[in-house]
C-alpha cells in the first residue's frame, strides 16, 4: 500500500485552499494507495470535515483561552504523535503546510527516512522580523526547516511577490524547486455566476466573507460609508472569526443596512455570493503578508461574477485590476471612500464582459501529479 501524508497543524476546516487540494487528492486516490492528513480539532463546535478518499487524524483539540504554556505542550504533543504516525505509515511522499507544521516532517526525514520526498507550502508569508519577534517555538522550527528547502521536491507560496521575498530571506538556503500556487476556487463555482445585472441597480448588494478586526481591517471605514447610504446599498457580512470589539462597534453604529450573518460553510458560498453585486476585501496591509497578498476571496468573488474591491495598499493584487472589462476588480482608497461615486464604481455600461477562468483543478494539477507519482520504497 502506497501512502501519502499531509501535515497541517492548524485545523484544515479554516483553510479552504487546503480542503480543495485534499478533495482533489481524494478523488485521484487509487485502490492501492492512501492519503493521511494529520491536523487538529478547532474545538469551537465547528463540524469536522469528511473528505472521501482521505483519512483525517485529529491529533489534539484546541481549547478557548489556552494559555501560552498549554499551547506549547499542545504543539509538542502534535509533533510527537505525528512523528510516530509517520513511522507507522512510512509515506511515499510527505507534505506540510507552514512552519508550524514542520516539526514532525523534519525529524522524520532527519532520523527515519532521509530519502522521503518533502513538499512544502505556505498559506502566508512571514518576514524575518516577524519570526524574530514571534513565538520562540516557531522561530526554532523555521531554523530547522532551512535544512529542508534545498532537499524539498517542491516549495510554494501563493503569489510571485511572496515567493520573491521568501527567496531573498532564505539566501543560500533558497529552495531549488520554488513554485507558485494561487488560492483558486473549484471550477464548478463558475456555474453559479450567470444571474447578475452588470450595470447599476438599487439597492446595491455588498458582501464580505472572512475574519473581522477593527485593528487590521477597514471595517470602520467601510461600515460608516455604507451606513451613510441606506437607500443606495446594503452590506451582508459572514464571519465566524471576529474580535469582540467588532460586534460592539456594529451595535453602536446601528446601521439599518448592515447585516451580520455569522458563519457560512465554504460549500454554500457560491449560492450566497451570487446574490450580491460587490465583494469587498479590507486588509490595511499592516505587515508584508497582507501587502503582498492575493486572498482566496478575491478569486472567489470574481469567479461568482461579483465586482471586487480591495485596498490600494495590497500591492500584489494591483496587476488584477480591470478598467475596461467586468467583473471589475478595483483598488480603492478606503480612507477616502466619500470621494468616490458609488454609482460610477458599479456602472459597467462602457465595459465589456470578459472573465478569466480560475480553478483549483488546473492550479493543483502539477502538484497532484507529483504527489501521486511518488511510490513506496
Residue 201, pLDDT score: 54
State the Cα–Cα distance between residues 186 and 357, nearest whole angstrom. 10
Q: Residue 143 sits in which domain range?
A: 2-183+360-373
Task: Count Cβ atoms within 10 A of the Cβ of residue 256 and give its class: 0-12 exposed, 13-18 middle, 19 or more buried.
Answer: exposed
pLDDT above 70 coverage of the chain, percent:
97
Residue 172: Cβ-neighbour burial (10 angstroms; 0-12, 13-18, 19+): exposed
Shared domain for 204 and 127, answered yes or no, is: no
Query: Which of 357, 351, 226, 355 shows the shortest CA–CA distance to 280?
Result: 226
**Are the C-beta atoms of residues 272 and 264 closer than 8 Å to each other?**
yes
Q: Are residues 178 and 255 in the same domain?
A: no
Same domain, 155 and 226: no
Q: Are residues 101 and 210 in the same domain?
A: no
Q: What is the pTM of this model?
A: 0.94
The CA distance from 253 to 235, in Å, is 14
Q: Report d(CA 263, CA 227) in Å as an integer.
A: 22
pLDDT tens, position by position, 243-275: 889 999 999 999 999 999 988 999 999 999 999
- Residue 330 and residue 367 share a domain: no
* Cβ burial, residue 314 (10 Å; 0-12/13-18/19+): buried
Write the pLDDT tens digit of every residue in 276-323: 999 999 999 999 999 999 999 999 999 999 999 999 999 999 999 998
Same domain, 273 and 126: no
Let me know whether 152 and 220 are in one domain: no
Mark whether 124 and 224 lie in a shared domain: no
Which 8-state DSSP code applies to residue 247? H
Let me know whether 230 and 287 are in one domain. yes
Please report, for the domain that includes residue 192, its CATH number: 3.40.50.2000
**CB-based contacts of 174, cutoff 8 Å, min separation 6:** 149, 150, 167
Same domain, 192 and 302: yes
Judge if 161 and 76 occupy the same domain: yes
320: which 3 cell numbers?
488584477
Domain count for the chain, please give it. Answer: 2
Same domain? 169 vs 96: yes
Amino acid at each position: 500500500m502506497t501512502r501519502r501524508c499531509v501535515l497541517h497543524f492548524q485545523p484544515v476546516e479554516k483553510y479552504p485552499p487546503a480542503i480543495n487540494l485534499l478533495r482533489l487528492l481524494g478523488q485521484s486516490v487509487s485502490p492501492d494507495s492512501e492519503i493521511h492528513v494529520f491536523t487538529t480539532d478547532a474545538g469551537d463546535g465547528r463540524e469536522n470535515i469528511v473528505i472521501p478518499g482521505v483519512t483525517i487524524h485529529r491529533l489534539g483539540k484546541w481549547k478557548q483561552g489556552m494559555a501560552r504554556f498549554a499551547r506549547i505542550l499542545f504543539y509538542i504533543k502534535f509533533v510527537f504523535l505525528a512523528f510516530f504516525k509517520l513511522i507507522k505509515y512510512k509515506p511515499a511522499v510527505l507534505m506540510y503546510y507552514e512552519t508550524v507544521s514542520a516539526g514532525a516532517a523534519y525529524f522524520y526525514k532527519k532520523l527515519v527516512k532521509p530519502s522521503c520526498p518533502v513538499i512544502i507550502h505556505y498559506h502566508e508569508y512571514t518576514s524575518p522580523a516577524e519570526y524574530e519577534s514571534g513565538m520562540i517555538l516557531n522561530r526554532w522550527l523555521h531554523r530547522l526547516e532551512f535544512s529542508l528547502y534545498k532537499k524539498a521536491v517542491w516549495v510554494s507560496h501563493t503569489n510571485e511577490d511572496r515567493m520573491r521575498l521568501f527567496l531573498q530571506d532564505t539566501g543560500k538556503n533558497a529552495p531549488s524547486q520554488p513554485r507558485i500556487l494561487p488560492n483558486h476556487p473549484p471550477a464548478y463555482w463558475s456555474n453559479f455566476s450567470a444571474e447578475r445585472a452588470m450595470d447599476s441597480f438599487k439597492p446595491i448588494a455588498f458582501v464580505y466573507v472572512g475574519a473581522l478586526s477593527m485593528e487590521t481591517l477597514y471595517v470602520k471605514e467601510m461600515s460608516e460609508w455604507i451606513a451613510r447610504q441606506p437607500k443606495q446599498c446594503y452590506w451582508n457580512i459572514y464571519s465566524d472569526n471576529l474580535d469582540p470589539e467588532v460586534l460592539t462597534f456594529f451595535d453602536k453604529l446601528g446601521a439599518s443596512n448592515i447585516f451580520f450573518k455569522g458563519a457560512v460553510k465554504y460549500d454554500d458560498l457560491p449560492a450566497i455570493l451570487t446574490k450580491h453585486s460587490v465583494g469587498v476585501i479590507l486588509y490595511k496591509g499592516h505587515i508584508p503578508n497582507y501587502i503582498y497578498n492575493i486572498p482566496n476571496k478575491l478569486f472567489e468573488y470574481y469567479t461568482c461574477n461579483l465586482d471586487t474591491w480591495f485596498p490600494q495598499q495590497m500591492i500584489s493584487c494591483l496587476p488584477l485590476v480591470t478598467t475596461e472589462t467586468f467583473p471589475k476588480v478595483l483598488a480603492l482608497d478606503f480612507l477616502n471612500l466619500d470621494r468616490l461615486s458609488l454609482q460610477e464604481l458599479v456602472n459597467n455600461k462602457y465595459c465589456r464582459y470578459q472573465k478569466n477562468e480560475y480553478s483549483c483543478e488546473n492550479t493543483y494539477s502539477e502538484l497532484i501529479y507529483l504527489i501521486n507519482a511518488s511510490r513506496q520504497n
